[in-house]
Chains A and B, each alone.
Chain A
Amino acid sequence: MAVDYTTQAAGGIGDAVLRKEDRKFVTGEGRYVDDLKLPGMLHAAFVRSPFGHARITSIDAAAALALPGVHAVLTHESLPVETGVLSASNPGGDVRHPEQAILVKEIARYVGEPVAMVIADDRYLARDGADLVHVEYDPLPVVVDAEKALEAGAPLVHAEYDSNLVKTLEHHTDGFDDAMAKASKVIKLRVDNQRLTPSAMETRGCIGDWQDATGEVTLYTSTQVAHFVRTFVSIVCGTSEAKVRVVTPDVGGGFGAKLNTYREEFAVCAASHAVGRPVKWIEDRTEAGVATIHGRAQVQYYEVGVTDEGKIVALKFDAIQNNGAYNMLLTPSISHLTLFMVPGLYDIQDISIRIRQAFTNTTPTDAYRGAGRPEATHGIERLMDAIADELGIDAAEIRRRNFIKPEQFPYSSATGLIYDSGSYDENLDAALELSDYAGFEARRAESEAKGKYRGIGLSTYVEVCGLAPSAVTAALGIGAPGWEHSTVRLHPTGKATVITGTSPHGQGHATSWSQITQTELGIPFEDVEVIHGDTAFQPYGLGTYGSRSLAVGGIALYRSLGKVREKARELAAHLLECSVDDMEWTGTAWQVKGSPDRSKTIQELAYAGWTSASLPEGIEPVLEATTFHDPPNFTFPSGTHVCEVEIDPDTGRIEILKYTAVDDCGNVINPLIVDGQVHGGIIQGLGQALFEETVYAEDGQMLTPTFVEYLVPSAADVPEMTLSRTTTPSPSNPLGVKGIGEAGTIGASAAIVNAAVDALSGLGVRHIEMPMQPARIWNVIQEAKS
């Protein structure tokens, strides 16, 4: 269904209304953290370890301190903090959590780890000063590869442990061994889900402003999770949480990388405390390559037992997750999300999963768009093609034979989740039709006639979104809940302020939340202001990640709107002198049933609630309501993506000829925003499939810190996409929404790789690792031919 975005729609739920956020961004009036200046503000630069593993023997700051304009050089000894970085993730309760000092204490464990901090009048001088800090290092043995890190005798990243094992996650069903023994065929596959650099266009940055007289500290930071940051700043910096305010200005993309609490955020607060002036730090891109978390980095070994008809009877998954040198906010939980989604959208009841997490001398990994779920989807979707290939069954048909059927919902997965709803055949049918799957062989022949290889690839996915029911996060060892907050406040003039605990950074919540408010409370779209990302205004907010904002935060809003509407009803009944039961809601007013002449608009009621001249018994003044909504379950968006590629055997270059995506994210609030999320998500998945890879040399050097080596797709590299939707509303929430922020990324990489493998299948190629850069493809072709 193509949406005509140019017809400005009415502004309620379901309308493709244009975004109210846009104007400030297109006029250059966005306010990102680097745009802020505080009186007396100084600038920070970090001295970072050039070694993957080294003991610091001395730090000499004399030359830096002698430079005019340099105010201080802070190290572990002098930075006033109480503790190191904290992690909120401890699945099973026995995860190894080594100390991660804010500035390196004694031993640096990855390239880029911050060793010292230089505070100066401007950013140029801070950099000059950093270059003058002389640090002596005693290099130690390095391990960067997670599989090698778990071998006996590997260099230890943390000498206090007897191995580099962080944690082993396991899940086995009782019937697994029997089921596997009965399989008529067992197929094996190794898949390397490579390390990625999230690469939001705005790097991280923050300003700490510590008021000495009161102990109050304000932190401006580019984050997805202001409240987490506040809680942790108070603990790390040793001040009352009630004295910490975290302000999120406009955020230039996050993709999970800003779902964290970083050393630099604590350091600027502590440094401001130390020097008595505000301190700003803005990450440069080369720094971002090592100082901001990476994603993925999981090697998987699959073994699947199937019947002759291609029905999966047992699935074994053994993976190694590279956690990097330390655990960040959620590091140990990311591969836990992989664990949940190992069976994908297939009805597989016998399963055996082991995921071993390893420390290595690399930047820590954590949530990157999809966070553990793209890894599961990519692997199982490669596996489905391997099964299809082995049994000579069509790739679409093999999926169909294994799908969970609509009548099986709510469906209990072998990994303990309850899938809410879905219609996987419908997604597949729609995608096959839109992509003209049936007509593919003729197109393959056309390409062959030109000397090129053409292939078509499918990816059918389900994801777990709407993170998360708090009882579940607690059971999973995450030291944070999953609910979300909203407040709806009507002003005397009938305008509305919506305060949300979600923290948009491109997702358009101001627009979507205004649409929900218009539909549910009758306040026009343009009369709604949405406030987010400032801990001074919100009781608490869990933030934006895991495709949770609408499915959790949107429902929190929906419920507050309902509370305000009900309070307005009592007020209207009182003013119109009739019983509450006699009132009916028109969409914008309460009226006496069947009597449009006896009604009060929501604006009139907002005014009456404020003046409080005459309130019903027991009703407090002002139309305002707050909700903390804890979702009863996750949501389970799904979809089918189809990719068609052509490969030039002379260059190894893959051209994407056609990309079709059919997504089911439940009900849609704003189709324009949903399509935008899918577009961006697919291209991030495409980036992983074709170009992106974060590479370390054996000695721990980072080889891909900038956009010169780390290839983020450009407009010239990517195709026009064709999108469509199916809808199975989520029964877990009253809006029937599921979430769409990560779907594109989760679905895309497997569709593209499957297409490339299909293109080269005639040469006997059965698997290709990502990224499929031309050199790799060229080599695959040469090897297959020889």
Chain B
Amino acid sequence: MGETITVTVNGTAHTAEVEPRTLLVHFLREQLNLTGTHIGCDTSTCGCCTVHVDGDAVLSCSTLAIQCDGREVRTVEGLQSEDGTLHPIQQAFHENHGLQCGYCTPGMMMAAVGIIEQQPNATDDEIRAALEGNLCRCTGYQNIVASIRAAADQMARS
């Protein structure tokens, strides 16, 4: 019943056997032990599971692992550089108190990186609109928006 797939995750190629029904999020969490990607719903509504596949932000709870055969996946674990320096979005979430319980945070940051790449000069309203698919129950979003704005500024400068 297994299918063999090869997926490059955060720069490392992984070849593994998966059931056809295995969701990407479970493949990452259970088979690769990359537990930074979270699950917050079962209706593709919360964004906790957001990762990048070939550079696009996608919901890993609504993507089959086999769909990623031969593709590049980036997760929260792949954000910081090898020397441990935080990515600007990680640094910005820290500096702007953009997280409380931290559960939504990986998905938020992956979505945010996608937003900044597509709209580097997004206004607060545009950031909020683009963030509509990512729920946070703790922060009230104000400091998340501030974090994304700060990261966008930082990334534009560098």
Contact = CB atoms under 8 A, between A and B. Distances in A.
B101 A19 contact: no
A346 interface: no
B102 to A, nearest CB: 3
Given A28-B37, A201-B104, A252-B103, A18 B137 contact: no
A721 B145 CA distance: 12
A22 B93 contact: yes
Contacts of A200: 101, 103, 137
B38 A679 contact: no
Contacts of B99: 22, 25-26
Given A27-B76, A251-B101, A199 B137 contact: yes
Interface string B42-82: 11011010000000000000000000000000011101100
Given A679-B142, A714-B132, A6 B95 contact: yes
Contact of A19 (B19, B35, B40, B94): B94
18 contacts: A25-B105, A26-B79, A26-B102, A27-B36, A27-B77, A28-B75, A29-B36, A32-B35, A32-B38, A200-B137, A201-B46, A202-B101, A203-B40, A680-B140, A706-B43, A712-B135, A715-B131, A715-B136
A718 interface: yes
Contacts of A679: 139-143
Interface string A505-529: 1111000000000000000000000
In this complex, which of A35, A253, A675, A706 has the most chain B Cβ atoms within 10 angstroms of its Cβ? A253
Shortest Cβ-Cβ A-B pairs, 7 listed: A28-B36, A252-B103, A25-B102, A506-B101, A679-B140, A506-B100, A683-B140
Interface string B102-125: 111110010000000000000010
A718 B141 contact: yes
A199 B21 CA distance: 27
A613 interface: no
Nearest to B99: A25
Contact of B35 (A25, A28, A284, A684): A28
Contact of B103 (A5, A37, A201, A714): A201
Contacts of A252: 38, 101-104
B108 to A, nearest CB: 9
Contacts of B103: 30, 32, 200-202, 252-253
B142 A721 contact: yes
A202 B136 CA distance: 10
Given A5-B96, A672-B97, A30 B45 contact: no
Nearest to B23: A124
Contacts of A285: 40-43, 46
A35 B102 CA distance: 14
A159 interface: no
Interface in A252-277: 252-253, 255
A284 B42 contact: yes
Given A26-B86, A28-B79, A684-B140, 14 more contacts: A25-B102, A27-B36, A30-B36, A30-B102, A31-B35, A201-B137, A506-B102, A507-B100, A680-B100, A707-B41, A708-B43, A715-B128, A715-B141, A716-B129
Given A676-B97, A716-B132, A28 B34 contact: yes
A722 to B, nearest CB: 10
B128 A716 contact: yes
B155 interface: no
A82 interface: no
A719 B83 CA distance: 38
A123 B22 CA distance: 11
Contact of A680 (B45, B133, B137, B145): B137
Contacts of A22: 93-94, 99, 102
Given A253-B137, A672-B97, A715-B132, A26 B21 contact: no
Nearest to B41: A285
A707 B43 CA distance: 7
B30 to A, nearest CB: 8
Contact of B135 (A24, A676, A707): A707
Interface of B: 19, 21-22, 26, 29-30, 33-43, 45-46, 48, 75-77, 79-80, 86, 90, 93-97, 99-106, 109, 124, 127-129, 131-145
In this complex, which of B46, B48, B140 has the most chain A Cβ atoms within 10 angstroms of its Cβ? B140
B141 A708 contact: no
Contacts of A250: 101-102
Nearest to B94: A22
Interface in A218-240: none
A326 to B, nearest CB: 25
Contacts of B79: 26-28
Contacts of A506: 100-102, 138
A720 to B, nearest CB: 6
Given A201-B48, A715-B128, A253 B95 contact: no
Contact of B21 (A21, A124, A675): A124
Contact of B94 (A26, A37, A676, A681): A26
B101 A5 contact: no
Contacts of B132: 714-716
Interface in A1-60: 5-6, 18-19, 21-32, 34-35, 37
Contacts of B41: 285, 706-707
Contacts of B135: 201, 707, 712, 714
A682 B127 CA distance: 20
A679 B26 CA distance: 33
A651 interface: no
B137 A712 contact: yes
A34 B40 CA distance: 11
Interface string A712-731: 10111010110000000000
Interface in A82-136: 122-124
B137 A684 contact: yes
Contacts of A27: 36, 76-77, 79-80, 86, 90
A645 interface: no
A673 interface: yes
B95 to A, nearest CB: 5
A579 interface: no
A710 B30 CA distance: 29
Contacts of A201: 38, 40, 46, 48, 101, 103-104, 135-138
A32 B106 CA distance: 13
Nearest to B46: A707
A134 B124 CA distance: 52
Given A18-B95, A680-B140, A715 B21 contact: no
B32 to A, nearest CB: 12
A508 B100 CA distance: 7
Contacts of A676: 97, 100, 138-139, 143
Contacts of A34: 29, 35, 38-39
B143 A202 contact: no
A21 B102 contact: yes
Contacts of A28: 34-37, 75-77, 79, 106
A682 B109 CA distance: 23
B56 to A, nearest CB: 19
A284 B128 CA distance: 27
Contacts of B33: 37
In this complex, which of B76, B97, B104, B143 has the most chain A Cβ atoms within 10 angstroms of its Cβ? B97
A459 to B, nearest CB: 16
A782 interface: no
A779 interface: no
A779 B32 CA distance: 52
A710 B136 CA distance: 14
Given A18-B95, A672-B97, A673-B97, A253 B43 contact: no
Nearest to B75: A28
B74 to A, nearest CB: 12
Contacts of B101: 200-202, 250-253, 505-506
